[in-house]
Amino acid sequence: MCGLCLTLRDLHGQSARLVTNYDGLLVSVLTEAQSPATAPHRTAGPCALRRFRSADVLDASATGAQLAAAVSLVLAAGKIRDHIADRDGAYARKLVASGAGLAARRWQSAGQRTGALIGFDTDVLTDAIARQAELERTAGLALGDVTEPTETAVSAAFAHTAILAGQPANAGPLAEAGRQFGHIAHLLDAVADLEADEAAGSYNPLLATGTTTIQAAESCSDALASLRSAVAVLELERPTLTESLLISEVGVSVDRAFWQIMSGAGFSGLSASTSGGDPGGADPGGLPPGGQQGQPVDPFQHAAPWQQASDPSQIRGPVTRRRRVGCGDCCDGADCCGSACEALGSCS
């Protein structure tokens, strides 16, 4: 996360650090997992967000960090343009809209330049954003029609990590993983905003398509199974963090978002159907671990990436891989065979 933040600063100035986000971080993680050689590290100086401690972070020359920066900048620019067009909140003020529009144009241009340096055409993201806005003005669409732009954008970004890492065989599974992750993320946002959008009369994918929360939960469950299947066949030199985020934490987020809905409807569980565990590891209080009523959904709020990197034993459910690696490969020779490697089924 710090590597992405500092890459944005080094390439595009201090203000660009505002677009740092978890979704952009994923493409950086995926690139390094496939080819650590493409991800040089450096020591970063003290930062207030790290309690003024130094840290080992990705260098701005890492292609995965550059892809993450390009994606983050272009998507942030698109989001600002949407707010301006909709005159949301403060964006209804001319002065605010003017300043925000300037920032959006600057970030859009910066993202395009960075994408071009690593062979990624950011037009696929820009087109998806424009298509999403058009679809939201169109009546009579199915849920899959509305989530398609998000799926397409994430799929393209995920697949390009295989090109950067020199692992073309991973491009197909990564494209599929991106589609499924995009579908899930879109639906989790829709569920989190449902009550507020309904009260305000704002657009919501579920309301617009007549999709019930039960149907949304079932759609997420299917997408989660497909996501896990795609991740399981990837050739990764360092799989721990990728599998923790895409296999475990996405499932936790789906469980949290739908737990109360599903328990009330007698549904038997979401991620449990594909992870082999209980339905989200729910506690007797009826909420999944860390869940709170009315809490906004964030695919990775249950555990931050740096926490998962140091504690991969929290991964729920078996991971079936086509190749196994030795302990030295999965944790750089550290003495961890009693926990992390065994949790991943990686020790030889």
Q: Partners of 55 in the beta sheet? A: 44
Count how many residues are written for the chain.
348
Residues 36 and 111 in one domain: yes
Residues 97 and 171 in one domain: no
Residues 264 and 207 in one domain: yes
pLDDT of the residue at 345: 38
Write down which residue in 239, 259, 274 finishes a domain.
274
Write down which residue in 239, 274, 309 finishes a domain.
274
Section 139-152 average pLDDT: 96
Q: Does the residue 324 lie in any domain? A: no
Write down which residue in 88, 120, 152 finishes a domain.
120
Residues 2 and 112 in one domain: yes
Return the structure tokens found at 58. 């990705």
Q: How far is CA 162 from the centre of its chain?
A: 17
Residues 106 and 183 in one domain: no
Residues 112 and 216 in one domain: no
Which of 32-41, 53-62, 150-159, 279-288 shows the lowest mean pLDDT across its residues? 279-288
Section 147-157 average pLDDT: 97
Residue 259 pLDDT level (bands cut at 50, 70, 90): confident
pLDDT tops 50 at residue 258: yes
Using a pLDDT cut of 70, give the percent of the chain over it: 74
Q: Does the residue 299 lie in any domain? A: no
Q: Does the residue 43 lie in any domain? A: yes
Q: How far from 138 is each of 95, 110, 201, 205, 210, CA to CA, in Å?
A: 31, 31, 16, 11, 13
Residues 270 and 213 in one domain: yes
Cβ proximity of 258 and 270 under 8 Å? yes
Section 13-35 average pLDDT: 91
pLDDT tops 80 at residue 194: yes
Q: Does the residue 129 lie in any domain? A: no
pLDDT of the residue at 318: 35
Q: Does the residue 133 lie in any domain? A: no
Most confident listed range (46-55, 145-154, 242-251) = 145-154
Which of 91-95, 182-186, 210-214, 267-271 shows the lowest mean pLDDT across its residues? 267-271
pLDDT tops 70 at residue 168: yes
Section 272-281 average pLDDT: 40
Residues 4 and 114 in one domain: yes
Section 182-210 average pLDDT: 94
pLDDT tops 50 at residue 169: yes
Residues 16 and 83 in one domain: yes
Q: Does the residue 5 lie in any domain? A: yes
What is the domain count for the chain? Answer: 2
pLDDT tens, position by position, 103-136:
999 999 999 999 999 999 999 999 999 999 999 9
Residues 181 and 79 in one domain: no
Q: Does the residue 156 lie in any domain? A: no
Amino acid sitting at position 120: F
pLDDT tops 70 at residue 269: no
Q: Partners of 56 in the beta sheet? A: 43
Section 29-37 average pLDDT: 95
Half-sphere exposure of 236 (CA within 13 A, CB side): 26
pLDDT tops 80 at residue 279: no
Q: Does the residue 191 lie in any domain? A: yes
Residues 43 and 114 in one domain: yes
pLDDT of the residue at 25: 87
Residues 2 and 114 in one domain: yes
Q: What domain range includes position 35?
A: 1-120
